[in-house]
Each structure stands twice: as C-alpha cells, then as structure tokens.
Amino acid sequence: MTVNRVLNQLGTLLAGKSLSVTADSLRGDGSLLSRGDLSLILQQDFTSLRAITVNGRALISTAGLLANHSLLQAGDLEVRAANVNNTATGEMRGGRTTVVARDTLTQRGLIDGSQTHIEAGMLDNVGTGRIYGDHLAIKGGAVNNREEGDRAAVIAARQRLDIGASVINNREQALIFSAGGGSDALNIGGTLDANDQATGRASLMLNDSATIESLGGLTLDTRRLLNRNLHFSTLLAQVGGPTTYLYIQPQGDPNRHNADEYRWENWSRAGRYIHKETGAEVRAWTQFEVTQTEFATQITESAPSMIRAGSNMTLRGDELVNDKSQIIAGGILQGDLDRLNNVAAFGEHITRQSGTSQYTYNKWRGGFRRYHQRNWDAKIAYNPADIVETVVLDVSRVVQNASGGGSGYNVGDRQTAQVGGTVGGSVGGSASANGGAGQKQITEVQVKVNGVSAPGTATGGQVSGGNGPVLIKEQAVAKRSGQSPGR
C-alpha cells in the first residue's frame, strides 16, 4: 500500500501474510498486526501509541523522528530513523532486534533481542532505560549510560556484549554488564566489525561512580580510561580521648616515660621514683601532666566505580586511571599496566597533647635537720606540635586472581509473543531481567549516592602485566597522585 497519508485512529491494521505501507505519514493510535512480515516506510515523524506486533520480519523506517510509547515486536525487528525516542513505556523486542538512529537514540524504555544491534550517532540510555541481548552490540559516536532521578540505566548481555564507540560515558550507578562466561564476554573498543564485535580503540571511557562487570572475560581498549569516584568526601573526626597521662622525664634522659613504669618510694622527706624493671632511682625529673586527644580522617561519602571480571581482564590504553575506585579481576589482569595509575585517597592521624610541665629536684638540708626535701619549680604550659601521620584510606583497589563472587547480577530470559489467529489474539508478554536464586534483578538500578559505599570483598594477589613491572599489591598503592585528571 503506497499512499500519501494513513490515519489509523483506534483501529487495527491486520495482515494474514504481510503488510506493506509506504506513506508520507502515519497518524493515529491504532495497532498494526501481521502474522507474516511488515514494511512501514514513512517520511514524516512517527509516534507509535499502540502495539505493532509481527510474527516475521518488520521494517519500520522514517526519515524523521520515531517516538515509541508502546510495543514494537517482531521475529526480526528493524527500526530506522533520523532520531529515535523509545520512551519509558516503549518496548522494542525481537529475535533479532536492530535499532539505527542517524543522529540520536534516546532510550528510557526496553530494547531486547537474541541478537541486538544498536547504532546511533549518540545513544543516550537514561534512567529507566534497559538494553538487553543474548549478543548485544552497540556502535556509536558516543554512548551514554546514565542516571535520571532515582534510577540508573542498564546495558546488559546474556552471553556477549560488544561496544564500539569513540566516547563511552557510564555514570552514577549505571550498569554495563555481561552474564557470559566466555573469555570474550565483554568487549569495549572504538567500533564494531562486520561480525558485530568490538575492534579498534575508543578515545575516552568514563566510568564515574558506576559499574562495568563481566562474569567472564573483559577487554577494554581506550586511549584514556577514567575510573572515578565522583562522591568522595572526608572529615577529621575525634577518635580517641581526651585521656590524661602522667609522664616522667628523668634529669639527663632525653625521653619521657609513662609514670606507670615507675614506683614511688618514700625517701627522706623528698621521696623518689624507682624504675620497676631496672631499679634505677630518679631524684630529679620533669613531670608532664598531659591531656591527649586523637583525630583521624574518616570517609563520610564514597561511591567508587567498579570494573570487574570473573576471569581474565585486559586493559589497553595510553592513560589508565583508577581514581579512588576498584579494578578487580578473578583471573589475570594484563595489558598496558605500566600506564595504570592507581590514585589513592590519603588522610591523617593526629595526636594532640596539651598540659603542663614542672621540674622537681631534691635538696639536702644539713645542720641539725639533716634530710632531703623536694623542691618544685613553677608549672609552665606544655603544648607540643601535633604528631601527624599520613595514612592510606581503604577505597582504591586493584586486584587480580580475586576470590569471592561478583556483584550478583544476572539477566533473565527474553520474552516474546505471537500474533494470534484473530485480531484479539495474544500480543502480550513482558520483558525483564530477573536474577536467579540469590542474584539481583536487573530492571534499572536505583541510584544511591549518599553515604559510604564500602570496597568489595574480593581478595587476591599482586598485579603484574606483560608490558610492565609488578605494580600493585592488594590494597597497596603504586603511585601517589594529586588531583584526578579532568575530562
């Protein structure tokens, strides 16, 4: 059917074998159903408000904007437009699902398929956006996977995930995930080859307080990797005291000693200290009465990014930065590790003392009295400089051969429906990503940026790379760096 304009108002276009519509525009909120194939070629913007369900192959194309508020489903689904907006209520599902946007694909709904291919000048997967596939391949100039409100978007594959883009921006607890167990389960590079596999090198990979995880192997090839903690803050808190101490510094001794090391002995009228272990007597000393308080840097907020692989992980790039975040490999961590800068978080432990010091000595009284008396000088203020120790805060971590499980995510089975024998046939079904027993459900990730996110429980051995020396032992720091680099 070739026409200038189609108006489908609350109706249903149903084809037993195939349905082909070529028009300038299609308007209305009716349904399109085909037990065979569907070809819908338009020139103007198209808004889909009701289900389009096809048992065979469906091609839905427009030269303008395609806005989907309902269900687009086919055995083989192909969607093409200048711009695509899959809203929060929109679903695109097929055995093979292809979505191509010449400019921007804005995605707040669901895209799912056995073979899912996404191609866009910019992919903006936002908030409630979920993109799934057994093999999921994404190609774009820029790929954003980010939060909106209290939800963060998900890109997840059941077996293999390939992303080829110039810039990949995963932020604010969004998730890039592969449940595959193979060595090539998750791959990020600069583009896709003819087999929808990542190849080349991306320009920039930003993982900002978000997670990139593969249950199998993981390969990331980018000129610049920034794995950053966007929500890190500390304060100096009192952790000890105030506690009162009495110290003794014998005359001629450069050191102070706790008064508990001595016993007091009545001697003449002056008295004296006797060291409990050595028996040495002390007749003249400086006495310090001190109040001691301890302070330490404490983490008040932290949202470390995570790059995790269940088996081997390969990181290639010119600049690889792990800034107060975590890189954990269940197998070998390899690649350009001589270019990996693990930026630690540093704090202080401060011991502060204040009080008085007072010198005392014994004086011999001769003549008829013939005894020793104790004389005391006036007390003077004692306020020594703080004792400041630099400590490494437990937030930045690079580990290989890590024991312990992953984050527990899994991707549920794909769900589809067929067009029934009547117009009222079953076109239902829903898609979700359900975790198995003990596993987290992936629909979208709820954002939580307040409070402290503790490091993972993985433990492992030292990290070494084929291209560089041993860099980092578990929870140890390779380099001390200043401010994290900007974009």
Give the helix/strand (H/E) hosting 311. none
Pair 157, 210 in one domain: yes
In a domain, 120, yes or no: no
In a domain, 113, yes or no: no
Boundary of a domain, candidates 46, 80, 107: 107
Dihedral sign for Cα 364, 370, 372, 378, please.
negative
State the Cα–Cα distance between residues 169 and 148, nearest whole angstrom.
14
Number of domains observed in the structure of the chain: 3
pLDDT of 420: 55
In 3D space, the residue among 414, 153, 209 whose CA is nearest the CA of residue 323 turns out to be 209
pLDDT of 298: 96
Pair 82, 17 in one domain: yes
| Dihedral of the alpha carbons of 117, 121, 124, 125, in degrees to the nearest 10 | 10
Boundary of a domain, candidates 359, 391, 423: 391
State the Cα–Cα distance between residues 49 and 27, nearest whole angstrom.
10
Q: If DSSP codes are grouped into helix, strand and coil, which group holds residue 291?
A: strand
Give the distance, in angstroms, between the CA of residue 101 and the centroid of all CA atoms in the same chain.
Answer: 28
Pair 268, 387 in one domain: yes
Residue 339 phi/psi, 5-degree rounding, is: -105, 10
pLDDT of 370: 74
In a domain, 440, yes or no: yes
Q: Alpha carbon of 108 to those of 87, 126, 146, 231, 441: distances in Å?
A: 5, 5, 10, 25, 18
Pair 427, 285 in one domain: no
pLDDT of 367: 66
Q: Which residue has the tokens 């200290």?
A: 273
The model's pTM: 0.80
Pair 190, 333 in one domain: yes
In a domain, 200, yes or no: yes
State the Cα–Cα distance between residues 201 and 168, nearest whole angstrom.
11
Pair 30, 79 in one domain: yes
pLDDT of 310: 95
In a domain, 343, yes or no: no
pLDDT along the chain (487 residues), means of 10: 47 60 77 88 92 94 96 97 98 97 98 98 97 98 96 97 98 96 97 98 98 97 98 97 96 94 88 91 94 97 96 98 97 97 96 96 77 89 97 95 80 70 33 39 49 42 33 31 32
Pair 259, 205 in one domain: no
Q: Alpha carbon of 164 to those of 25, 40, 454: distances in Å?
A: 33, 29, 31
Range of the domain at 378: 234-297+349-391
Pair 312, 276 in one domain: no
Give the distance, in angstroms, between the CA of residue 454 and the centroid of all CA atoms in the same chain.
Answer: 11
pLDDT of 411: 85
DSSP-derived letter for residue 190 is: S
In a domain, 4, yes or no: yes
In a domain, 279, yes or no: yes
State the Cα–Cα distance between residues 287 and 379, nearest whole angstrom.
9
Pair 316, 353 in one domain: no
In a domain, 118, yes or no: no
pLDDT of 419: 56
Pair 328, 428 in one domain: yes
Pair 45, 137 in one domain: no
Pair 176, 266 in one domain: no
Query: On the CB side of 73, how many CA atoms lie within 13 Å of its CA?
Result: 24
